[in-house]
Amino acid sequence: MVPSAAPAQTAKISVTQRARGLAEAGKVEDAIRALQQELETDPSNLSARLLLADLYTKTKEDGRAEEQYREACRLHPESPDAALQFSSFYMGQGSFDEAELMLTDIVRRFPKLTRARMQYAVVLSAKHKYKEASANIRMIPPPQEPTARVRYFRLEASIRSGLGDAPGAASAIERALKVMPTDSQLARMAALTESQAGEWKACIDHLSPLFVKRPDPETGLLLLRAQLASDVDFSGTLDRLRGLSLPADEEFDLHVHSAELLSSANEHKDAAEEFQRAVRLFDGGANDTLIYNLAVEQYASRQYENAISTLKPLREKQDSADVEDLAGDAEARTGDLPAAIHSHETAVMLAPKEERYRLSLGSALLESGTYATAAEAFEQAAQLFPSSARTYVGLGMAYYFMERYEDSVAAFLRANELDPESGRAMAYLGATQADSVVGPSSVAVQAICKRANSNPNDLSSNIWCGALMFRRAYLAGDYAAAEEAIPRLQRANRLAARNPVASCSLGRALAWTHQTSEARHWMEVCVELRPDSTEDHYQLNRIYQKLGLKSAAAHQAKLIAKLSAEKVGEPSLAQKFSAEITATGPSSIAERK
């Protein structure tokens, strides 16, 4: 029987090979007919049936292909090849549920078959079953053949990414790149996964040579993003991007995307230039959104006059509350407060139910010194938005400048009830009480210190509790009370090193209680953090005099004279509040007061 079987096997192989040759030569129909004839005489020829199914797939006869795969699996249930190719067919059709069912059975029957495990991991990953996919790929050693090895690591990277393990994904692509280090596509993938992992240096290392060798927008934008994120010089990349020769629509998209990246990195001047370039390229005339974004970046880069000019056609063509609000902010920064108030009033008129425009109006009125009108604006806002903590902070500011001190404290405390987490209200309450000519209110000090006692790690309340305790003690001439304030200020400085309010208050408290040597350190920190404060330089001058440091004292005297002559000073409380409302200043007045 053995001699008679060998020729039959040889014939089977010959038919399959001949059909494959015909298909490779482009004679697919002839190959299909040869295989059909073979299967009519020998239905059990597995290689012929699988090749026929594959050819049906290539000729888009999916129903016939599925029929052949199903018959192959029926006739050869012990063959993993038939099942694996059938599952591959389903994967190609996007039928991952069917593929998963088949592969689940295959890996159960052939648990050590690496091809099945690999394919199973691919399907599980496609179905976002990343944990199961990870468990399967861990059971497969990386293959040695280069192409298969790269495919393995790319799959691992995809699974890692799906699990939220960006560093693991980057590491997997790095291993793939080691296999094929000259593959530019892999280098781009490595850079992309590294950017997702925040590994900016590695990302730059991979992208820089690619961008130099073949500059294109996609590579350049990713490189620009990495350089901006890692705070390295990006000017060369930006210049090269600007110099690319592209169709107008692609160049437009490039400038918009680079502007957005630059804006998000607070590189507002360059962002404004990119938006300006995009505006010039826009087909059919200026685009309102682009013009507005350009004005935003001009404002953020302190090009206030340019921002006002940019907004002019929008105001004339199709005005909006956003446009008027931004124009008002820019006008205020140029010192034209009447125009700013008018613009903010227009914004409120255009959008009367929007809180932020009323806040902007109130803050502009505060800056202009029309405190009663500002109070009316905030009172109206409080009626419309009774749960707005920022509105009550504005009301507290207006009442403070009107010397309605009790009402001011009540408004700040109401704001704190509405928003106890941010500490904003307590920060403004502390700042106004520190400046109050009548001295800190007992109600205010008790409220701030109560918050500090309940929240020992709360920076704002601990700073202002200590600062106000000292100011009250100083005004009363109470040295014992000042000594009680010092530990609180020391704690505040431990909570936030180099905070101007904490450092300056501690320096003054130590100086007043005759702890001159220690006071020197804190006042030196103070003037470094608040270099424009003549009062702080004066306090440091007195400390140097007491310590006999004549040269240092003389230097401070010169700085005081210079600041007085130049009329340099800290922004007012109203200006700081306005800066916060317009999102250009610190989140808490405790950071700057």
DSSP letters, 416-451, are HHH-TTT-HHHHHHHHHHHH-TT---HHHHHHHHHH
Residue 403 contacts by C-beta under 8 Å, 6 or more apart in sequence? none
In this structure, are residues 89 and 69 in contact, taking their beta carbons and an 8 Å threshold? yes
Mean pLDDT value across residues 550-565: 93
Dihedral over alpha carbons 16, 20, 21, 23 (to 10 degrees)? 140
Give pLDDT tens digits for 68-123: 999 999 999 998 999 999 999 999 999 999 999 999 999 999 988 999 999 999 99
Judge whether 553 and 544 are in contact, CB under 8 Å: yes
CA atoms within 13 A on the CB side of 8: 9
Nearest partner of 414 among 392, 385, 390, judged by Cα: 392
pLDDT of residue 46: 93
The rounded distance, in Å, linking the Cα atoms of 137 and 168 is: 14
Confidence band for 284, pLDDT divided at 50, 70 and 90: low
Say how far residue 145 (Cα) sits from the centre of its chain. Answer: 40
> How many residues does the structure list for the chain?
593
Q: Are 457 and 469 in contact (CB under 8 A)?
A: no
Q: Residue 283's pLDDT band (boundaries 50, 70, 90)? A: low
d(CA 206, CA 186): 10
Average pLDDT estimate for 220-232: 94
pLDDT tens per residue, range 306-331: 999 999 999 998 789 999 999 999 99
**Most confident among 167-171, 252-256, 280-284 (mean pLDDT):** 252-256
Query: What residue type is assigned to position 543 of the chain?
Result: I
Could you give the angle at the alpha carbon of 431 between the alpha carbons of 430 and 437, nearest 5°? 100
User: Residue 591 has what pLDDT?
Assistant: 37
The torsion angles phi and psi of 261, rounded to 5 degrees, stand at: -65, -45
**Burial class of 98 by CB neighbour count within 10 A (0 to 12, 13 to 18, 19+):** middle
Distance CA 307, CA 301 (A): 10
List the single range of 152-161, 252-261, 483-492, 576-585 with lowest mean pLDDT: 576-585
H/E run at residue 179: helix 166-179
State pLDDT tens for residues 154-170: 999 899 999 999 899 88
How many CA atoms are closer than 13 Å to the CA of 67, on its beta-carbon side?
5
pLDDT of residue 271: 97
Q: Name the strand (E) or helix (H) holding 550.
A: helix 550-566
Full-model pTM: 0.73
Show the CA angle centred on residue 110, arms to residues 104 and 112, nearest 5°.
110
| Alpha carbon separation from 245 to 216, 219, 240, 270, 277 (Å, rounded) | 10, 15, 10, 20, 14
pLDDT of res. 423: 85
Contact 83, 105 (CB under 8 A): yes
CATH code, residues 422-593: 1.25.40.10
Task: Please give the mean pLDDT across all residues of the chain.
Answer: 90
Inter-residue contact 516 to 546 (CB < 8 Å): yes
- From the list 280, 209, 295, 211, the residue with the least C-alpha distance to 248 is 280
Question: Rounded distance, CA 238 to CA 221, Å?
Answer: 9
